[in-house]
Amino acid sequence: MEDFYSVRVSRWAAETVYRLHTDSLHWSDERGERDLLHANIRKVRVYKIRYFRSRTSYWRCDLTYADGVHIRLQAAHYGLDGRVEDRTTAYIPFIKRLEARLAHANPNVAFETAEQRLALLDAAVGVLAIVALRLVRLVDVRHAANPAGFFMRQIGPWLKGHGVAKANLVAAFPEKSTAEIEGILNGMWDNLGRVFAEYAHLDRLWDFDPTHIEADQILIEGDDRTRFVAAIREKGPALVFSAHLANWELLPFALGSRLGENAVVYRPTRIPSIDCELTRIRSKAKVGLISANLEAFFAVKDVLRRGGMVGIVVDEHFPRGIDVMFFGRACKVTPIFAQLARKFKCPIYGARVVRLANAKFRLNLVGPLSAPRDATGKIDVAATMQMITGMIEGWIKETPEQWLWLQRRWR
């Protein structure tokens, strides 16, 4: 039986169909077709690629034949609309069978591994970021955050994300003047710079002690304090939603104050070395770290079954999500948070961090919330996610310069 696989390796290329025969690789496209003998292969070069501004890496295989022909096979397929489609599921089995037949037909074939230039750039950026974080830890956080905020205010407007953030702000606040919009953008970049500097000091920033009223940097006051102390002493499963406000990375440390097993769901960065460093930093919060991937839903369920509290940031676009209204426009959010609350019948809390002066923060906690119910008395997933989204919108309106406007929230 023939094996086949098709791919368009760039938006300008034709889609090519490859068929794997016992002794040859056959390709065909709109230009014609040809058989390439396995015995004539000279080199197989395997490596991973990543497209600029994308988190996803794809496998690629370059074949070089004795007559100078080059064939490129890859898991990333360009659709007619220019979007990249992941065909890893079909690509990997095809390549494995191809490699086996090549090795059998030509034992002298050279198999090589390589690094894409963008991967090398990622590695260099990763080293620089890690060195910077460890150097920043040697400096008082107040002295480090100010120049970091200043630096981002200078370079932020030159980055591509600035245009996305500005368009989002204009759509969200049509009543604001150009000067007001620019002021919010300036504050957003300042906040991001400070977040980077504060990563190195997260464990030092979190100084809340429920047995002492006074705290130097983390303020949890009044009703927020009462709710927070009750929540961290409560037993049984619980869910906490949050958003990318101020320094959202302090929330794992808030959950780490609770006795027992607790966890947060986080999105890995696209550069592995930086992701490892951030994981090392977050691990000081003493909570489980659940990567936002296909297995995340099951990992969260396991923690809830064991009576743990799980924190999830829910202000990001979720392609397969449900529609909610956010700043007067429809967008998609993950329904998983409400689905978990419905399944486990557990309390729902909302938490946000507000940036104050001099590297100080205030934590606000709401809940346990009364989630909307359907006719059967169970949590209404869509209505609950709309309620949560509305609360986050309210938080953002209070401190718009502290939210991450860079994300393409409406699509």
pTM reported for the whole predicted model: 0.72
Residue with tokens 């989204």: 389
Contact 251, 242 (CB under 8 A): yes
Buried b (16+ CB within 10 A) or exposed e, 281-296: bbeebebbbbeeeeeb
The whole-number pLDDT of residue 46 equals 84
The whole-number pLDDT of residue 120 equals 65
The whole-number pLDDT of residue 1 equals 44
Closest CA to 236 of 374, 389, 349, 352: 349
Question: What are the start and end residues of each CATH 2.30.29.30 domain in the chain?
Answer: 3-114
Contact 235, 241 (CB under 8 A): no
The answer as to CATH 2.30.29.30 being correct for domain 3-114 is yes
The whole-number pLDDT of residue 55 equals 64
Residue 15 CB contacts under 8 Å (≥ 6 apart), including other chains:
6, 7, 8, 29, 77
The single-letter code of the amino acid at 324 is: V
Contact 361, 352 (CB under 8 A): no
Token pair recorded at residue 377:
């008395």
| Ranges of the chain with pLDDT below 50 | 1
